[in-house]
Amino acid sequence: MRFQLHKIDHSLVVLLSACGRCASDRQVRRPKPVRRPRSHRVADHTVHRRMLRLRINGSILWGVGPSTNAWISRGVGLDRAVEVTAAWLADAGDNYGQRALVVPQKGDLHDPTPAIARFIANGNVGSSRSLSVQTGGPILAFVPTVELLADAVRLADGNALGVVEHAAGEVAGWAAAVGAIDLATGAAGPEVDPALREAFESIHDAGYNGYSLSDSFLRRRIDDDLELLVQADVAFEFLAGYIVGLGAGGHRLDGLRRIYEKHTGR
């Protein structure tokens, strides 16, 4: 499936699906809005998943779905980032009424922006210290560490996961692994060289029991993979995010960090 990108404003884009039944020189027909009772609009959001329409502060985001992973930088504005992500989750996910937000510290939500306040109105909030949230709905990971991102992946369990990134590059590895959509540009996660992708997968598979500096067998098994990443100047942050995208738990990352630091001599 090919995607064409069309600017709507300075912060959002349009994604239009070009399928075999719709030649590129034909007019793309947008679905007529379906009037439904307000009480059914959230529960019935999957009806138009193939061509969604979201109104956000007067702008319109057209997109193609379904996709289960997306992210946006907080650099677009914190309230704006949450608003865009929440709107995407409402369409791309299931059971929006059971949506959950995970955040490093709940104290960060003491004075929430309007968009955050609306999202957490159901009270389903978890933190790095307490992840006791009701599952079954889409997950919004709010400025997560890579360890918390791993928890968010587990909690989403295949449902939609949206991430608001704190600093540039923090979720790039995860986005590359899962092909997450950048909600600010419409682009999917960056392409990864096949050799590097194979190295990431090898490291992930080798660490199914965790990573330990004292495990000489493990270190010999992944030594060539690590060397390839070092030669390609891959940061540990990207490696960690990538294997989280492959399904690694956050508890495995500290051991891998120590091995990578020892391998690089840093």
CA 95 from chain center: how many Å?
18
- Specify the pLDDT at position 5: 37
Average pLDDT score over residue span 167-184:
96
Across the range 204-222, mean pLDDT stands at 94
pLDDT at 256: 97
pLDDT at 100 over 50: yes
Q: Is the pLDDT of residue 41 over 50?
A: no
Q: Identify which has the larger pLDDT, 74 or 43.
A: 74
**Separation in Å, CA 243 to CA 38, 129, 130, 147:** 41, 22, 23, 11
* Res. 137: pLDDT tops 50: yes
Tell me the C-alpha distance between 225 and 229, whole Å: 6
Structure confidence at residue 67 as a pLDDT band (50, 70, 90): low
Report the pLDDT value the prediction gives residue 107, as an integer from 0 to 100: 82
Question: Looking at residues 71-84, what average pLDDT do you find?
Answer: 96
User: Does pLDDT of 72 surpass 90?
Assistant: yes
- Give the rounded percent of residues in the chain with a pLDDT score beyond 90: 67
Q: Is-contact 238 169, C-beta < 8 A?
A: yes
Every domain of the chain and the residues it spans: 1-191, 194-264
pTM of the model: 0.76
User: Would you say 193 and 138 are in contact if contact means Cβ atoms under 8 Å apart?
Assistant: no
Highest mean predicted confidence (pLDDT) among 6-10, 150-154, 185-189: 150-154
Residue 265: pLDDT band (50, 70, 90) is: confident
Q: Are 151 and 132 in contact (CB under 8 A)?
A: no
pLDDT of 199 above 80: yes
Quick check: 65 and 91 in contact, CB under 8 A? yes
User: Distance of CA 260 to CAs 135, 206, 230, 266, Å?
Assistant: 34, 14, 9, 9
User: Three-class SS string for 29-51?
Assistant: CCCCCCCCCHHHHCCCHHHHCCC
